[in-house]
């Protein structure tokens, strides 16, 4: 587990260089993600193939999680961040130049790989740099900056496409990644000395040996995080499907999502403050109960107002839990093999992101969408109970790092 305030730097000195790159990259992602399917269709892809091209971002992240941990452990978080931004910009440039579906698909997959490295290295970097008494707020803010960027990006993408072409959005996103690489270069290398001074050289342990050593926390706490991630990802799929089934047009559905995203963005810092002050479980369990309640109430809605209210409720549950997956991973990660452990941790989370929407697909093969919603509610509530049991066993007690911060 992490030692309180070890290698810590005042948060105020890291706000711009630490969060700035995440905002830039997420604005770029937000600008292009809604357009990937349209790009594939314009290149002659079928609807199913276009959906597969979009899914390659998530597949790239899954494939890249464990190698990202090994890479960050070997070359350091700062170099990994810069490299990820450069590779991401290259992938986006290839998407800009793509004249075939195959090349576009390869470019999207590469951006997914780069995203895995970027996310892991940023998490590991802040875990080392920020005092433990502020860890949850710092990582919740990291999750919040991604939400802000993802909210702004689509509007910029819409302006670019209306004036030029879809390709211009990829060029813009590539420029954002290059700018993020430059900003990351200005970030002080907090973790370099910590890695170099490891007396037993354990920084270079294999990912598999680290995961085997910490398999208990991954099988217990990690499986709960898988359910949490699945619930958070599934809400983005089931709400538009439910809205479409009740005759709402795309504009109204987008407005509902915008309101939900607004609620989501406003609550990331309060959620982190609660975790730091009272403990991680006081956000983890309530957020899943709220998400489960949203799934449960959705079958009772039919109009724009009622669906919008439930979507806002889900935004509330998702917003207060911003950064919770990263915070729990940081708490459980060992000091001598943090990046390798976080590779496995992020694999649990990303697998949940991929698995969640599949639950809807599976259930709706045999039952209506309302049954899928109730099924998700039950799964989410079961996950809240599971996390309520395991989070207190691995998360630091609030008084532990309050005392440490006074030393």
* Per-residue model confidence as pLDDT tens digits over 236-279: 778 888 887 888 876 777 778 778 878 888 888 888 888 888 88
141 plus 227 within the same structural domain: no
Could you say which of 150, 178, 196 is where a domain stops?
196
234 plus 324 within the same structural domain: yes
The C-alpha atoms of residue 221 and residue 60 are separated, in whole angstroms, by: 24
Give yes or no for a contact between 132 and 79, defined as CB atoms under 8 angstroms apart. Answer: no
Residues of the chain with pLDDT under 50: 1-7, 193-203, 402-407
131 plus 211 within the same structural domain: no
CA separation (Å) from 298 to 141, 235, 302?
Answer: 29, 10, 8
CA torsion angle 152 158 160 164 (round to 10): 170
- Helix, strand, coil shares of the chain, percent, nearest 5, are 85, 0, 15
248 plus 157 within the same structural domain: no
| pLDDT for res 11 | 59
Helix/strand/coil for 300? helix
84 plus 115 within the same structural domain: yes
Could you say which of 196, 217, 249 is where a domain stops?
196
| Region class of 165: left (phi > 0), else alpha (psi between -120 and 50), else beta | beta
Could you say which of 196, 225, 245 is where a domain stops?
196
114 plus 219 within the same structural domain: no
| pLDDT for res 139 | 87
Percent of all residues in the chain with a pLDDT value above 70, rounded to a whole number: 88
| pLDDT for res 262 | 80
The C-alpha atoms of residue 319 and residue 232 are separated, in whole angstroms, by: 10
- 64: domain CATH number is 1.20.1250.20
279 plus 185 within the same structural domain: no
143 plus 209 within the same structural domain: no
DSSP 203: G
22 plus 156 within the same structural domain: yes
- Which residues are CB-neighbours of 21 under 8 A, at least 6 positions away? 81, 85, 122, 180, 181, 183, 184, 187
The C-alpha atoms of residue 20 and residue 13 are separated, in whole angstroms, by: 12
DSSP string, 137-200: HHHHHHHHHHHHHHHHHHHHHHHHHHHS-HHHHHHHHHHHHHHHHHHHHTS--TTHHHHHT-TT
pLDDT tens per residue across span 26-72: 888 888 877 787 788 788 877 667 767 877 888 888 888 888 888 88
- Which residues are CB-neighbours of 37 under 8 A, at least 6 positions away? 50, 51, 53, 54
Closest by Cα among 350, 354, 172, 155 to 261: 155
164 plus 229 within the same structural domain: no
| pLDDT for res 291 | 95
The C-alpha atoms of residue 294 and residue 374 are separated, in whole angstroms, by: 10
Closest by Cα among 122, 171, 174 to 145: 122
Give yes or no for a contact between 130 and 138, defined as CB atoms under 8 angstroms apart. Answer: yes
178 plus 218 within the same structural domain: no
Write down the residue that tokens 């000195």 correspond to: 13
The C-alpha atoms of residue 379 and residue 393 are separated, in whole angstroms, by: 22
> Which pair of tokens denotes residue 133?
């008494």
The C-alpha atoms of residue 133 and residue 407 are separated, in whole angstroms, by: 12
Give the number of domains in the chain. Answer: 2
Closest by Cα among 152, 42, 159 to 101: 42
pLDDT tens per residue across span 362-386: 888 888 889 989 999 999 999 999 9
The C-alpha atoms of residue 270 and residue 263 are separated, in whole angstroms, by: 12
| pLDDT for res 266 | 83
33 plus 109 within the same structural domain: yes
Range of the domain at 247: 205-407
> Which pair of tokens denotes residue 69?
């941990």
């Amino acid at each position: 587990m992490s030692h309180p305030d070890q290698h810590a730097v005042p948060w105020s000195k890291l706000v711009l260089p630490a969060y700035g790159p995440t905002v830039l990259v997420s604005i770029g992602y937000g600008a292009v993600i809604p357009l990937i399917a349209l790009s594939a269709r314009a290149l002659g892809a079928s609807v199913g193939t276009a959906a597969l091209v979009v899914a390659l971002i998530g597949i790239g992240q899954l494939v890249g999680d464990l190698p990202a941990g090994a890479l960050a452990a070997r070359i350091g978080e700062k170099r990994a961040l810069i490299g990820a931004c450069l590779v991401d910009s290259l992938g986006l440039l290839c998407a800009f130049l793509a004249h075939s579906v195959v090349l576009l698909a390869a470019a999207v997959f590469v951006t997914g790989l780069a995203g895995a490295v970027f996310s892991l290295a940023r998490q590991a970097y802040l875990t080392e740099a920020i005092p433990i008494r502020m860890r949850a707020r710092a990582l919740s803010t990291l999750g919040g900056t991604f939400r802000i960027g993802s909210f702004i990006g689509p509007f910029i993408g819409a302006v670019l496409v209306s004036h030029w072409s879809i390709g211009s959005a990829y060029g813009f996103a590539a420029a954002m990644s290059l700018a993020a690489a430059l900003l990351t270069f200005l970030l002080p290398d907090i973790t370099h000395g910590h890695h170099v001074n490891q007396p037993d050289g354990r920084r270079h342990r294999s990912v598999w040996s680290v995961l085997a050593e910490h398999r208990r926390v991954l099988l217990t706490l990690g499986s709960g995080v898988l359910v949490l991630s699945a619930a958070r990802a599934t809400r983005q799929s089931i709400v538009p499907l439910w809205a479409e089934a009740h005759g709402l047009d795309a504009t109204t559905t987008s407005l509902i999502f915008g309101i939900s995203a607004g609620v989501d963005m406003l609550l990331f810092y309060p959620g982190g403050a609660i975790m730091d002050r009272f403990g991680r479980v006081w956000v983890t369990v309530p957020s899943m109960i709220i998400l489960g309640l949203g799934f449960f109430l959705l079958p009772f809605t039919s109009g724009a107002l009622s669906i919008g209210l439930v979507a806002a409720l889900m935004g509330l549950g998702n917003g207060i839990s911003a950064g919770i997956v990263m915070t729990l991973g940081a708490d459980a990660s060992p000091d001598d093999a943090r990046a390798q452990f976080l590779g496995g941790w992020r694999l649990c989370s990303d697998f949940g992101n991929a698995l969640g929407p599949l639950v809807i697909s599976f259930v709706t093969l045999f039952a209506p969408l309302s049954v899928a919603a109730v099924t998700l509610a039950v799964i989410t509530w079961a996950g809240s109970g599971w996390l309520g049991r395991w989070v207190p066993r691995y998360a630091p007690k609030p008084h532990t790092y309050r005392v440490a911060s006074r030393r």
